[in-house]
Structure 1
Amino acid sequence: MLNARVVDPGTGTSSSPSDVWLQAGQISRVTPAGRVPGAGNVLDLKGNFVAPGMMDAHVHLAFDGGDDPKATHQASSDEEIIAQVVANARIALRAGITTVRDCGTPRRLLAPMRAALGMASDVATVVHCGAPLCRVGGHAHDMGGEVRTRHDVHTLIAEQHAAGATWIKLMASGGGFTPGTSPSVFEFDPVLLREAVVIAGSYGMKTAAHAHASSSIAACIDAGVHTLEHASMLGPDERCSPDPGLLRRAADAGIHIVPTVIAADIVSRQLQEGRQVLANPLDRNVVARLESRFTNVTEFLHSGVSIVAGTDAGPAHVTFDLLARELERYVAAGLTAQHALKSATTEAASMLGLESQVGRVRPGLWADLIFTSADPLQDITTLQTPLGVLKRGLLIAH
């Protein structure tokens, strides 16, 4: 790639025109433009910008993001669901999202899902959590992850590790999609929660915790989880009550928070329009809960906790190409464009354990890259319309 301005989210700088050389899908060198002769296929970026591919740390590939994803999912065959998984990973990649973390898929589908994705070259790289672990009847229990005992926990984690998961999802509170659960309540046996973190760690796996309630967040910090998903900070009165002390504890423990603001924006708007896209009678303060996710980002920023970008793609009209809009919401909440971009590149790569593979435009890393007409460090909105996308050196969209 010739005449590219290389964007470094880590340092917050963009280079003068440079040439970026690729070999076998990796970045081999970055040199001043025109200084070093080369051979092979040439792509002249003509002074446009090249940035690391974005990473979406919270998606649900088994759902279609349509009018009624849960009903569609339930009416679909396994083969149809797998086809949807691949299609969603393809949508993400064409939007410049080169890596996603799938935060919940049916237990029986993890292995075939990985096999199907492995046969496609034009899809985002997927980091798998497999079926979420939950209490009996807990949030997303229909995915097959109910646990009652330590034996259940060990069996499920061992099975999903063997099927290729590298993360384990824990449903530490209820959720809007599951009747009979409460988002404002800690809904996991604290002993089993700690056991799950320890057992997952014994397999080299990290843990992600769905946690709306402040009580569930506190329990997850005590248990040593690696990421908090949504982190709505709900009190027992079902209202959002930001707790700076709790957030400082998370920051001190090195825990990352994935806010998933854009999904909350989209779903809350549909609820206010009278569309029943969530169906949980115990989620009585749902619109306020969802709207708090945006204001919570400002609280996360002030606490110093690590923010990693994720969209929660999969629910009604939350499609798999919305990560740039998620970053725009972070900027509106007070993050700089650099900080927002880091949340989807360098910070995400570090959280996922992929910093030696992706997240920067640097020799030795995979050529998972996007091209933009403006500098995203100055104008975050340019990420909505990438000029081109590379996945391991292969030009996907241009």
Structure 2
Amino acid sequence: MKEDPAVSQPARYWIRSPTIWCEERGRFEPGLILIGDGQIRAIEPIATAVPAVDAVIDLSGSWVLPGLINTHVHLEFSASSQPLADFEAETAEERLLRAAGNAHRLLTSGVTTARDCGSSWIMLALARRPDLSPVMLPRLLCSGPPITVPKGHLHFMHGVVHDHDEIRAHIDRLEAEGGRSVKVMASGGQMTPGSLPEETVFTQESLNLIADEARRRGLPSVSHVLATESIRRSAIARFDSLEHCAFFERDGQGVIVRIFDPEVASVVRDSGSAMMANLSTATRYLDGLRESANRTSAESHSLRQFDIMVENFGKMVELGIPMVCGNDAGVRDTPFEDTWLEFAWLVKGGLPAADAIRAATSGAAKALLIDDSVGRIARGYSADIIAVASDPLVDPMAFRHTTFVMRAGEVIRPSP
């Protein structure tokens, strides 16, 4: 049973630390954070005298940051080696319970805001009534069933559309049922049998319509883009976020390969769209392959393509394309506790550590259209605050173990 925050926690208290993340300067600075009614009320010099009646949380020895934002998860998936089989074997009610548990894992790992990037309709109940959840949840922005074509990627989530009228009707229903993000599968996907990841499945006109409808309603838009042409069309439509940007093509032998297209990458840069690279997805599986002495040719190909993906990411970073942190949690061998690993790979792939922090905080909030209230330690922002034991500017693995988690002023994980 959840405790009543009004009973278990003071209405006003301070967080003290010599190392608090300063977004504007891209560094950690000393200070005191005043928390009240779930919001950050003030940032004061660390030497400020605290009224004796106020409670103080001393996080000296920790690095204090805004709560992490994971822009791409699938809460109904199991993160096992066979997530699709698990999804199909479970009832809608069982998947809803799984989703609540997965969301709670995100929260306790330091993710205070997450976007579900594709689910069945019933999962939107968590977005509508988080107060009914048996466990504490992060702030959730849910896309519901992604807009897709007949037999398209994740069609079994029931977001299939045939024409523009059905696109509008889908977004109407999504908004009415609590969805707060519009997702389209602009290309096929690897997880759905019969769907071709190198195929672009929506016209430019349809993608323009989807992005325009999202903008008109004030909802963030996100496009799944594996095929090269799907990247170009979605960038032209100016989706808020482009997922994967894989540059998939078929070679002469019919094998899917990544072929970086600098002209298409430039279209992305000029569009203003952010990119979610999910570099860490399934890396636990790939690490196992690297340790194997008897890899198949297909497994060796997968490892080569992973290396090319990281290379391509570095090229996109050099172009100045804004990056956001998302790891596709829930898909094959990608646990919900692993947002830390995506951060580490962002840095390893060439993103400066300060920009990687922004990709998981303020930059992610901007792509989700909530950057006026989430993603910074600043007056008037939601009191979503975490602490880690090492400096993320120096240690890319710093987020692996959070030592303190607060969500909207409520302490989820107390400091040890």
TM-score, shorter chain, exceeding 0.5: yes
TM-score, normalised to structure 2's length?
Answer: 0.88
Aligned pairs for 1:233-382 (under 5 A) are 233-237=247-251, 238-269=256-287, 288-382=304-398
Quick one: which of 122, 125, 128 aligns to 1:109?
122
User: Quick one: which amino acid aligns to residue 261 of structure 1?
Assistant: L
1:171 maps to 2:185: yes
User: Quick one: which amino acid aligns to residue 148 of structure 1?
Assistant: H
Deviation at 1:374, TM superposition (A): 2.1
2:222 equivalent in structure 1 = 208
The 1:159/1:343 distance shift into structure 2, 3 A limit, reads: same
C-alpha separation in 1, matches of 2:289 and 2:161: 32
Deviation at 1:4, TM superposition (A): 4.1
User: Quick one: which amino acid aligns to residue 409 of structure 2?
Assistant: G
1:22 maps to 2:35: yes
The 1:270/1:72 distance shift into structure 2, 3 A limit, reads: farther
Q: Does the 8 Å contact 2:220/2:367 carry over to 1?
A: no
Q: Does the 8 Å contact 1:135/1:189 carry over to 2?
A: no
User: Quick one: which amino acid aligns to residue 172 of structure 1?
Assistant: A
C-alpha separation in 2, matches of 1:68 and 1:270: 16
2:161 equivalent in structure 1 = 147
Identify unmatched segments of 5+ residues in structure 2.
1-14, 293-297
User: Quick one: which amino acid aligns to residue 83 of structure 2?
Assistant: P
2:402 equivalent in structure 1 = 386
What is the CA deviation profile of residues 276-316 of structure 1, one whole-angstrom value per residue up to 9, with x for unaligned ones?
xxxxx9xx976554543322220111111111010000112
Q: Does the 8 Å contact 1:30/1:363 carry over to 2?
A: yes
Identify unmatched segments of 5+ residues in structure 1.
275-280
What is the CA deviation profile of residues 367-391 of structure 1, one whole-angstrom value per residue up to 9, with x for unaligned ones?
1011122222222322111111111
1:277 equivalent in structure 2 = none
Deviation at 1:272, TM superposition (A): 7.5
1:71 maps to 2:89: no
C-alpha separation in 2, matches of 1:211 and 1:288: 20
Task: Specify the SS of the correspondent of 2:247.
Answer: strand
1:95 maps to 2:113: no
Deviation at 1:123, TM superposition (A): 1.4
What is the CA deviation profile of residues 140-199 of structure 1, one whole-angstrom value per residue up to 9, with x for unaligned ones?
100101111111111111110111212211111111111212111212233322222223
1:189 equivalent in structure 2 = 203
Structure of higher RCO (CA pairs closer than 8 Å, 6+ residues apart): 1
Deviation at 1:243, TM superposition (A): 1.9
1:32 maps to 2:45: yes
Task: Specify the SS of the correspondent of 2:56.
Answer: coil
C-alpha separation in 2, matches of 1:209 and 1:67: 25
Task: Specify the SS of the correspondent of 2:310.
Answer: helix
Task: Specify the SS of the correspondent of 1:152.
Answer: helix
Percent of residue pairs bearing the same amino acid type: 27
User: Quick one: which amino acid aligns to residue 101 of structure 2?
Assistant: A
Measured on the aligned residues, the alpha-carbon RMSD in Å equals: 2.3
C-alpha separation in 2, matches of 1:268 and 1:157: 37
Task: Specify the SS of the correspondent of 2:58.
Answer: coil
Deviation at 1:244, TM superposition (A): 2.2
Task: Specify the SS of the correspondent of 2:233.
Answer: helix
Q: Does the 8 Å contact 1:371/1:388 carry over to 2?
A: yes
Structure 1, 116-125 or 315-324: larger mean CA deviation: 116-125
The number of residue pairs the alignment matches comes to 389
C-alpha separation in 1, matches of 2:189 and 2:309: 14
Q: Does the 8 Å contact 1:2/1:20 carry over to 2?
A: yes
The 1:75/1:382 distance shift into structure 2, 3 A limit, reads: same
2:9 equivalent in structure 1 = none
What is the CA deviation profile of residues 82-122 of structure 1, one whole-angstrom value per residue up to 9, with x for unaligned ones?
1111111110011111111110001x314323245343472
TM-score, normalised to structure 1's length?
Answer: 0.91
The 1:291/1:184 distance shift into structure 2, 3 A limit, reads: farther
Deviation at 1:352, TM superposition (A): 0.9
User: Quick one: which amino acid aligns to residue 169 of structure 2?
Assistant: T
C-alpha separation in 2, matches of 1:388 and 1:53: 10
The 1:181/1:19 distance shift into structure 2, 3 A limit, reads: same
User: Quick one: which amino acid aligns to residue 392 of structure 1?
Assistant: A
Aligned pairs for 1:28-67 (under 5 A) are 28-38=41-51, 39-67=53-81
Deviation at 1:205, TM superposition (A): 2.3
Structure 1, 321-330 or 110-119: larger mean CA deviation: 110-119
C-alpha separation in 1, matches of 2:288 and 2:145: 27
Deviation at 1:230, TM superposition (A): 0.5
